[in-house]
Amino acid sequence: MMRVLFAGLGNMGGPMAKNLLSQGVSVTVYNRSAPATDWFSTHGATVASSPSEGAQEADVIMTMLSDDRAVEQVLLDPHTGCIQSARPGTLVIDSSTVSPQLSRRLSQSFATKGVAVLDAPVTGSAPQAIDGTLTFIVGGAKEDFERARPLFNAMGRQAFYVGAAGTGSTVKLANNTMVALNLMAVVEGLSIVETAGIDAELFLDIIAGGGAQNGMAMSKRKKLLANRFDADFAMHLMLKDLRLAGDVAGQWEIPLPGLALATTLYQVGCRTGEAQQDLSALRTTYRKLAGQQSLLTSLNGQGMADQ
């Protein structure tokens, strides 16, 4: 039986690890916040006290973490990281959204230990993680992709191999740039009709049949209409991804004015109180922009502190 260490049990990683368990995979879990492991300890998983301990007997190490720093700590820390105890032949699958540079560095660092690495971020958020309908975007060696396919099938509906180390992360950042811009388009349309006194639900029904429809209009419909923005994908995480995409664009000297605008708007949203809410709370940010005094009050209340 394949033995998997799963590190990172948040909104995404928790459901993914549960889906592996439900498919009969032998799972060890690690999470920096211990309470997240409670369910797993009573449902057949082993709980590791450190990434290094969890990696000792693992055939596959899988991570779903918030950012580059967290991934480096879990995988590369010189004292407690997985790299200290991973055995030759182990496969590392990082499904976090991180910089392509880190993905390539992980591949190079683990290669010295005889360990292969795939960067395998996902499209979809918490509902798709729960339902097991994620899409994996995978960079690394093709033979390692094929080796990991049963795990991808246990957690998602499809997996795409896109190329060498770092390409999965690059494609994910391009994807999230489009997500941010698509949501901006929906919110701007809603701003027009709301100001005109036209029903927002009727507007979303109308665009569903034409070229203005997009994935954000469908997936965020309930949140936008209810004005309830509990986080499936928090705004501060989208801002992090947009900044990473901006770094890639800067390295390649690609002019991306839409990305620059989206980054600014999500930064405003984070600074005015929406950082921990779902990215669809950009709707609230636009409402604040429409009333400049309330926006200035919110900014002053935050002390312009970047979140």
Active site residues: 172
Neighbours of 86 (CB within 10 A): 24
Show Cβ contacts of residue 32 under 8 Å, excluding neighbours closer than 6 positions: 70
The SS3 call for residue 224 is helix
- Give the C-alpha separation, 272 to 260, whole Å: 19
Residue 279 CA: distances (Å) to CA of 168, 205, 239, 274: 22, 21, 9, 8
Locate 167 and state its tokens.
Answer: 């390409």
DSSP codes joined into one string, 105-145: HHHHHHHTTT-EEEE--EES-HHHHHHT-EEEEEES-HHHH
Among 121, 30, 47, CA closest to 82: 30
Q: Among candidates 147, 173, 174, which has minimal Cα distance to 161? A: 147
Q: What is the C-alpha to C-alpha distance for residues 94 and 301, in angstroms, rounded to an integer?
A: 37
Cα-flanking dihedrals φ and ψ of residue 94, to 5°?
A: -100, 110
Please say whether the beta carbons of 191 and 290 come within 8 A: yes
**C-alpha span between 178 and 184 (Å, rounded):** 10
b/e string for 221-238 if b means 16 or more Cβ within 10 A? bebbeeeebebbbbbbbb
Helices assigned H by DSSP within 156-273: 167-195, 200-207, 215-219, 221-226, 235-252, 257-269
